[in-house]
Amino acid sequence: MHPLIDQWFVKIDIIPNIVGEFEDSALLKTFAASGPGAFPAGSLIEKDLKETYEIHLLGKCDDIFEYFYAIRSEKKIQRPLVEAIIKKK
């Protein structure tokens, strides 16, 4: 995600002052909630960020996407959620 976000900053002519980079999303949210700053987050968790951390949306990056891939064997799928995701393709 980092290169995509960097390109987005260039596109909208913003030079961010980066004070931390986090691998752990819970630590990122806690850090962000403790003071001024901004961080990227998926739109699906916007409501949770507002309710839990009192974090508010500054803007949308509609042209940035993150992809997830599932790799499976030919064995019978035993988890209903995984089966639903595979059938949705």
Question: Is 80:88 a contact under the CB 8 Å cutoff?
Answer: no
- Residue 2: its pLDDT value, please? 82
Contacts of residue 16, defined as CB under 8 A and 6 or more positions apart, other chains included, come to 9, 38
Confidence of residue 89 (pLDDT cuts 50, 70, 90): low
User: Looking at the predicted structure, is the pLDDT value of residue 68 above 80?
Assistant: no
pLDDT surpassing 80 at residue 5? yes
The C-alpha atoms of residue 4 and residue 7 are separated, in whole angstroms, by 5
Instruction: List all residues 6 or more positions away from 1 whose beta carbon is below 8 Å from its beta carbon.
Output: 40, 64, 66
HEC assignment per residue over 5-26: HHHHHHHCCCCCCCCCCCCCHH
Annotated domain spans of the chain: 2-88
Sequence-ordered strand ranges (E) for 1-89:
none
